[in-house]
A and B are shown apart, each in its own frame.
Chain A
Amino acid sequence: MSTTTTPVTDTLPESVTSPRGPRYRQGLQQILAFAGLVAIFAFFSIASPYFLDWANMKGILLASAVTGIMALGATFVIATGGIDLSVGTGMTLCSVMTGVFLTNMGLPLVVGVLGGIATGALLGLVNGVNVSFLGIPPFIATLAMMMVAQGLSLVISGTKPIYFSDVDGFTQIALGELVPGLPNAVLIFFLAAVVAGVLLSKSLLGRYALSIGSNEEATAISGIDVRRWKVLVYTVAGVFTGLAGVVMASRLNSAQPGLGLGYELEAIAAVVIGGTSLRGGKGTVLGTVIGALIMATLTNGLRIMSIPQEWQKVAVGIVILLAVFTDILRRGKDA
């Protein structure tokens, strides 16, 4: 069991895991989320003999990768007190565009991958401008973008999947194993988490995102150009969406234009389980990583126990409620 969970903490930067950080209470929150993950692990390992199988572990990690990468970006948006509902279908649009670049246009692999990521950045930029400069509430702006992205995916692909069979090495992006035994998708997720962790805790972007979430008006009065930083936050979230789109396409070896809807909610759930407050001002990347792992583990474990899919959804919903409720209890003590 320990062999499967240690990489998570080991790959994160010291700044995120270090207990000496000023946000020791968020440390407590991560410990609790981590304890939850361990408890779920323990439960399923007793409940099913197949659960601890390395192949199954790999499945869990792989399943967590795409949602996890999206959730990393969503952490920044949620830290500002915003929300991004467009990451699910946006991710699909990025997959489709990667397909267009690589299969239809025959561009080199690197260019196609970067093009897919750039698509995500563009979606985020538009979200950011709509929220910041046009003053559209994040919920509405990104809800609209969710629909636009879904529609565009279908239009551009002609509602048919785009296959990457002719693109050499494309599946290696997600399924290759640079580290033997560990699919690259998982490696990408962890590396992206390290980058996100450093950005959130050490960069101006992360500092301002948390400041805006704490008190947007006070941040603005302090001379920070809140509108421009918010655009950047949404754009960065878009980059992660784009990366998720590429990984997803590679894993499926195709861009499936019908996919995507619902992924945004899983990503948001992962962020929230990880202790990032939907009201903004508070959040960590480590929490989000644990949240994504909890979501993936839960789904996997329930499936192994042959719980019907409908009941799996019920269980996941209850876990989200429990996670947020314990957060509220903790905060209640503080007030």
Chain B
Amino acid sequence: MSTDATGAENAESVAATTGAGTTPPSGPTLLQVEGITKTFPGVKALDDVRLDLRHGEVLALVGENGAGKSTLMKLLSGIYQPDVGTMELDGEPLHVSSTREANERGISIIHQEFHLMPDLSVAQNIYAGREPRRLGFIDDRELVRRADALFRRLEIPLDPRQQVSQLSVAGQQMVEIAKALSFDAKVLIMDEPTAALNDTEVRTLFRLIEGFVSPTTGVIYISHRMDEIKEISDRITVLRDGQYIDTLDTPGTEVGDVISRMVGRAIKTDVRPSASGTDRPVVLSVRGLSTRKLLKDVSFDLHEGEILGFAGLMGAGRTEVARAVVGADRSTGRLEVRGRTARVRNPAEAVRHGIGYLSEDRKRYGLLVDQDVTANVALASVGRESRAGFVRDAWSRRVAAEMVERLGVKTPSVRQRVKNLSGGNQQKVVLAKWLVRDCDVLIVDEPTRGIDVGAKEEIYELLESLAAQGKSIVMISSELPEVLRLSDRVVVMCEGRVTGVLDNADATQQNIMELATQFGGAEHLLATTGAA
């Protein structure tokens, strides 16, 4: 309960890693989270997690994708309830069952995605659901007056009457922050607040945070940007795989210390022998790929028989690269397939050039969930295999049966509807669809997301055997061990740019994470690591 106890436990867990100095027990606790466990069907998102936020501090919360940061925040803001564990705010038990309730208790959260109504004004957004009223009608004048007073207090240069959709992304972020601060917040939680901001705007944000922090308040700051964390935070709490790892005092902590705790053991297991070298011919060459929203000048080469891993944090732009390459989203840049310029304006043209894309979101972009295994497996190829515009059902059934056999899809029959299969088997069905199409280049995006360990291993083996047959594979993954295990080379992305290309031999979780949290200086790194 007390900070002493937390400190002691910290010391124990730290002893297991490096024994670096932890926090001396000092100051009363503003927010105390103890022994929190949260399970979702098939996944333990949080396992006995703790966290304490002191009065007047900014606590950074870091961890890889899937470490449990967002789940923890959702517990604090009342979106989820913990299975086990206690939460206390200023010594009082904290049970919140909605964001509204959390707001009323003094916990405000700014989510990574905006939750604004674009067609309403700034003031209407900030006071949505709690508009000042007169005679039962919304008092617009009072609404604007309140917003104006809020902006003056926070020194935010916004016009309360302006429509939100007319604001820049940074402006919208400011609205979110103002909204969060308009509640009498004691605890302000920010999830990647600077993801969309430029340097000047980050300054403004930091000024706001400093203005907010007082002896009665505190901030939990979730970010991947180490430089910002070093600047703004007092302490850093690290989560990994849903577990509490450590809390470090920011002064005197090196970035490397934080990253090594985020990734855990820096031991590489099961490294794929880097057999296929870059001396084999280039199958797919991407140059200067850019999109309006995120990607900036992305270039890479994919060699025959190569598995090219794409690592990076959420929002780094890996999926966007895949979608741009297959023409699912608009982009500028140049694409060469086996040395010849290829024009790919939609996925149909990509498939014609032999490029298939397995999406990270298999329900939305991968499967016809209401249809059977046969229809799904055959989908990408029925056209090629048709005769005079007619489907060859016998062929479809045969390849579906073959694939079920070859990939070990657990299904009672090929007529089973895909929605009745488990995640791993669904993923095998999507893979089967592309195997039947026999593309030379396969872009697989999070191929093992949401599937169990056994099925993961089978999918790894399948990808490896495809590469051995001379197929070229781009593998996007948020799981670093997976990237390290399968990739011949690893492209690391950060905020829409390629920040480095590592050979399998040089790639470690540590240096991938460093590149993935890199902010700026991309050119320098490209030069030193020798981009293809």
Contact = CB atoms under 8 A, between A and B. Distances in A.
Contact of A225 (B346, B366, B368, B433): B346
Interface string A191-213: 00000000000111101101100
A22 B390 contact: no
Given A204-B383, A211-B379, A221 B366 contact: yes
Contacts of A207: 375, 382, 391
B68 interface: no
A150 to B, nearest CB: 34
Contact of B365 (A204, A217, A227): A217
Nearest to B367: A218
Contacts of A227: 346
Contacts of A220: 328, 346-348
Interface stretch (B124-132, B281-289, B356-364): B356-364
B364 A204 contact: no
A22 B391 contact: no
A172 interface: no
A204 B386 contact: yes
Contact of A223 (B365, B372, B393, B437): B437
A205 B364 contact: no
A22 B372 contact: yes
Contacts of B433: 222
Interface in A207-249: 207-208, 210-211, 214-215, 217-225, 227
B246 to A, nearest CB: 41
A224 B350 CA distance: 10
Interface in B400-452: 415, 433, 437
B348 A223 contact: yes
Interface string B326-357: 10100000000000000000111011100011
A215 B367 contact: yes
A251 interface: no
B216 interface: no
B155 interface: no
A202 B386 CA distance: 10
Nearest to B385: A204
A204 B393 CA distance: 11
Contact of B375 (A202, A211, A221, A225): A211
Nearest to A335: B419
A202 B390 contact: yes
B328 A221 contact: yes
Contacts of B366: 218, 221
B370 to A, nearest CB: 5
A223 B442 CA distance: 13
Interface string B372-395: 101100011011001001110100
A226 to B, nearest CB: 8
B380 A22 contact: no
A210 B382 CA distance: 13
Contacts of A224: 348, 379-380, 383
Nearest to B391: A207
| Most central of A205, A208, A215, A219 by chain B CB within 10 Å | A215
B324 to A, nearest CB: 13
A223 B350 contact: yes
Contact of A22 (B350, B369, B415): B415
B150 to A, nearest CB: 39
A207 B391 CA distance: 8
A225 B346 CA distance: 8
A281 B371 contact: yes
Contact of B351 (A203, A218, A223, A281): A223
Contacts of B371: 210-211, 214, 281
Contacts of B352: 223
Nearest to B357: A221
A146 B357 CA distance: 39
A231 to B, nearest CB: 14
A220 B328 CA distance: 8
A221 B389 contact: no
Contacts of A223: 347-348, 350-352, 356, 380, 437
Contacts of B389: 203-205
19 contacts: A22-B375, A202-B391, A203-B389, A204-B382, A204-B383, A211-B375, A211-B379, A218-B365, A218-B366, A219-B368, A221-B326, A221-B357, A221-B359, A222-B433, A223-B348, A223-B350, A224-B380, A227-B346, A282-B370
Given A219-B379, A221-B328, A227-B346, 14 more contacts: A203-B391, A204-B383, A207-B391, A211-B375, A218-B365, A220-B328, A220-B348, A221-B366, A223-B347, A223-B351, A224-B348, A224-B383, A281-B370, A282-B370
Interface of B: 326, 328, 346-348, 350-352, 356-357, 359, 364-372, 374-375, 379-380, 382-383, 386, 389-391, 393, 415, 433, 437
Report, nearest first, the 7 A-B pairs whose CB atoms are least far apart: A223-B351, A214-B368, A225-B348, A222-B380, A22-B415, A221-B365, A222-B379
